[in-house]
Structure 1
Amino acid sequence: MKSKLQLLKDIAEFLNEETDRSTMIQGALKMLIDHSEFDTGWLFFINEEGQHELSAHYRLPPSLQKGGHEHLCGGKCWCVNKYNNKELRTATNIFVCSRLEKARIDYPEGNNGITHHATVPLISGDESFGLLNVASPHREEFSQDELDLLESVAFQIGSTLKRIELTAQEQENMIIRERQRLARDLHDSVNQMLFSIGITSHAAKNMQDKTKIRSAFDSIEHTSKHAMKEMKALIWQLKPIGLENGIIDAVEKYAELLDLEIEIQIDGFYDVSDQVEIGLYRVVQESLNNIRKHSGANAASIRMDAGQKVLRVTIEDGGRGFDTLEQKKFGYGLSNMRERIHKLGGTFKIKSQTGKGTRIIITVPSKE
């Protein structure tokens, strides 16, 4: 068992190197549980609407794992309500937990002696991200020293979540500034060439000498080709890396890299923002990765249906499938995909059945 200071130091060093939110919270939770008196833990992210999502867990008792973690994922509880009412600011012992109680009643032999837990909000400055909960067998109350440890770890996680968020915002700002620079270059270079074409064509109207007219049109042809080449090069730079020729081309090349046969069907003309296109591409990438690694299939189909307000993308394989209520093997990857799409203002649904393949249905907003 590590000392409190050593554990906090180790967690701080781990968090300082992490840039991915999901691996960060899972790793920090594991370190906390493995090197403290706490025996199990779980973490909720809570959005602005007050809806909670089970985002990480470690060494849960069987009663809390049943039914796809139904007792942790569904309904409301005291700590989430207090969090949403902004009445929870420090680490607190929870003496009556409706989630643990329901799990104990439904699965009396599967709670491993877990009847109570402690909770602490994940806070950085004025921002709150969710809750960190811990528990131990046959413990109804944790000491102040244990609560202080829990609070310190929660503060570290909250600060890291804020850092990751700010880093992502800065990267987005850098992209915006680069796009603005490229837009200025596009305007300066291509606009000048178009102006030259306009002057030359206007002058050619009044020419009588066929040789001069031919020379003028040669100049117009040369300048227009150069303008198109310049414009194409700049537009490619405006696209994210890998998406220079659009998401279809990028997906086809990525599938080829995975040695995965794909069939892509497109219905309608889609028009989404760069942010949505990037996010959608990352989710499609992860889906194809999962198909290659877990489904046993070597082929997949992707259908894109463009509506007025949304783009609907369906990714399907005929592989081995899985029970969606028992997603432990795939849970974090699917959670990341769902979270990414939700941030874009879209929806993410997964349908699968053992032996009957998997279908992922995504909607993302189109441009107004």
Structure 2
Amino acid sequence: MNDDPRVQELITLKTIAETLNQSNDLRLMLNIVLVKLLELTGLSAGWIFLVDDEMSYECVADHDLPHGLLYRDKQPMRCETCWCLDRYRSCKLQNAVNILTCKRLMNVKEYGWGDTAGFTHHATVPLYSGSRRFGVMNVASPGKVHFSGEELALLEAVAYQLGSAVERMRLYEAEQSRADQYARLGEFSRELGTAGSMEHSAAALPELAVSLIGSHFHWAFAALFERDGFEFVLKAVSVEGQLANRAARHLLPEDHWLFEAARGDRYVTATPEQAADLADHLELHGLQKKLSSAMAAPVRVVGADIQGILVVGHSASASHADGGVLGALAEHIAIVLESARMEENRREWTRLEERNRLARDLHDSVSQMLFSLSMTAKGVEGQLRGSHTEEALESVKDIQLLSQNAQREMRALIMQLRPTGLEAGLTSALLAYGKGLKLRVRTRATGSRELPRNVEEALWRIGQEALNNVFKHAGTSEACLVVQLDEDKAVLRISDAGRGIAKKQLIQTNRRSLGLTTMKERAEALGGSLAITSGYRKGTSIEVAIPIPMPVPAASAITGGD
């Protein structure tokens, strides 16, 4: 074996480099490297402290410690501080140095914790990677009180390798954590998006969103505040994955740190004191001491006013990846809330349009019949006074007929307001409706599947209007009803063999008929189409086709859950 010290140094550095590339487990790698280093340098014992940004330290690797340092599960390596860490924290430890005496070994002797096996001194080496600091490495041997310049230089070279490896592994862990976080974000987005499209009200979505955050992310708590005028009101909060009760109406004070998030476009990070203060404000008892930090992000659609604030608490230090995920969560919640509100507005407009249409129908049909009824009644009064008994009887018959027609029209309009009977299926409901109009309806149905509620209701409304047209205008009491359910669309066809409409008149009817216009609008609102075929004395056929959206898979099927 070559005894040249330079060769031995190169062998040591090469062996350490090869060892560093064998594992992505930080603790395992540091322990293996420490053993190799001690073996190659002839030293007996060593330990490595990693120090975080808050200057808290942890002994993550050690080898062949004397019995006294192993006292009570290595208590001397966990408690208090020491001169090498004090110098590290004060940025006075820049290079490998000789520590004359070790305070931890002195404590072992002072408190009688055990034997020190002749260890009194050690060398201390800072672990760096560029401008980033990670901790210190200590190595020692019994009776060794001084390390030469060559030994310290070798230890520094090894420490640089360790620092680079720690940096690489930290980056790897951060990327793994980021990938995991964004996978969870994808699952959250799919579930919230699915729920948002299933007619959940905007008022119910905050609790749903916070509940999903609690179940998908390992954060200490999550809370959502919604804007109410110039204030922000707590709408939902979850603690360790479970929704918490909101007994009080929690408002944010005007000087609260969360308003910084409300004024910006990205997330903000709180101090541990601010995080604990927020937990206290929300009455999340027991969390104050567990929180290390908190982050908040504005809930807003791009270019729009702020809708709320999403805030989460961490029991460990928050990372930049957490902030990116939080911002994406807030953006997605904003989109779903905005979509839910727009859908509610659309439904309200639809209800208003329906009321207006019914008002027009009442004016066009029932009001005209009632006016005719009123005028006929006045005529009967005059005829009775003039003793025109026969004419009066005929007028009374007209009054009866008009009143019956008015009642029928009113029932039809009430039926449109309240679509009962659909629980038996679209075909059965339209058949019953046709019978109510004294029509003989022949039916045929092909295909079997459950229709989305909006598609079924649209076909029901269109079918009602079509059967009404047969009753009023076709001059026949028979109609044919066909319901065809394909994989991608639903088709409804209603036809009669009545008087029909001439081609020129059909064009004018399509332009002027309020009923036909409404039927067409209903179909087109769902991406469908409506076609009318008719000819003089050749009957009329109305066909509507509406696409059926593909069913959304359940969340467990998407995410691979049980």
TM-score range, shorter chain: 0.5 to 0.7
Q: Which amino acid aligns with 1:234?
A: I
Tell me by how many angstroms 1:231 deviates. Answer: 5.0
- Choose which of 107, 128, 135 in structure 2 pairs with 1:102: 107
Distance 1:216 1:204, change over 3 A: farther
| 1:202 Cα deviation after fit | 4.1
Instruction: Name which of 87, 92, 101 aligns with 2:92.
Output: 87
Distance 1:72 1:180, change over 3 A: closer
Please tell me whether the aligned partners of residues 487 and 548 of structure 2 are also in contact (alpha carbons under 8 angstroms): no
Task: Decide which of 458, 463, 475 is 1:203's aligned counterpart.
Answer: 458
Q: CA deviation at 1:230?
A: 6.0
Paired residue for 2:174?
169
Partner of 1:158: 163
Does the aligned pair in 1 maintain the 2:190–2:555 contact within 8 Å? no
Q: Is the 8 A contact 2:455 2:548 kept in 1?
A: no
SS for the counterpart of 1:23 is helix
Code of the aligned partner of 1:28: V
| Post-superposition offset of 1:198 | 6.1
Indicate the residue corresponding to 1:227 in structure 2: 551
Inter-CA distance 37–232: structure 2 relative to 1 (3 Å threshold): closer
Question: Helix, strand or coil for the counterpart of 1:227?
Answer: coil
Match of 1:142 in 2: 147
| Secondary structure in 2 matching 1:42 | strand
1:75 aligns with 2:399: no
Q: Which amino acid aligns with 2:145?
A: E
**Bigger Rg over Cα:** 2
Give the C-alpha shift of residue 192 in structure 1: 9.6
Aligned Cα root-mean-square deviation (Å) = 3.8
Paired with 2:120 and 2:459, the residues of 1 have a C-alpha distance of: 89
Q: Distance in 1 between matches of 2:91 and 2:170?
A: 22
Gap change, CA 1:217 and 1:60, over 3 Å in 2: closer
The Cα shift of 1:41 comes to 0.3
- Mapped to 2, the partners of 1:53 and 1:192 lie a distance apart of 49
Letter in 1 for 2:140: A
1:1-368 equivalences under 5 Å are 3-107=8-112, 110-175=115-180, 197=452, 200-206=455-461, 207-208=463-464, 215=485, 227-229=551-553, 231-236=555-560, 244-245=561-562
CA drift of 1:190 comes to 10
Higher relative contact order (CA 8 A, sep 6+): 1
| Residues 192 and 67 of structure 1, relative CA distance in 2, 3 Å threshold | closer
Distance in 1 between residues matched to 2:557 and 2:13, nearest whole Å: 50
- Tell me, which stretches of 5 or more residues in structure 1 are unaligned? 237-243, 246-368
- C-alpha deviation, 1:132, in angstroms: 0.6
CA shift for structure 1 position 233: 3.0
Give the structure-1-normalised TM-score.
Answer: 0.55
| Partner Cα distance (1:188, 1:136) in 2 | 63
Alpha-carbon distance between aligned partners in 2 of 1:198 and 1:90, rounded to the nearest angstrom: 73
- Quote the Cα distance in structure 2 between the aligned partners of 1:12 and 1:217: 62
Describe the superposition over 1:314-351 as per-residue Cα deviations: whole angstroms up to 9, x where unpaired: xxxxxxxxxxxxxxxxxxxxxxxxxxxxxxxxxxxxxx
Report how many aligned residue pairs link the two structures: 236
* Cα 1:198/1:124, change in 2 over 3 Å: farther
Gaps of 5+ in 2: 200-342, 344-450, 468-479, 491-546
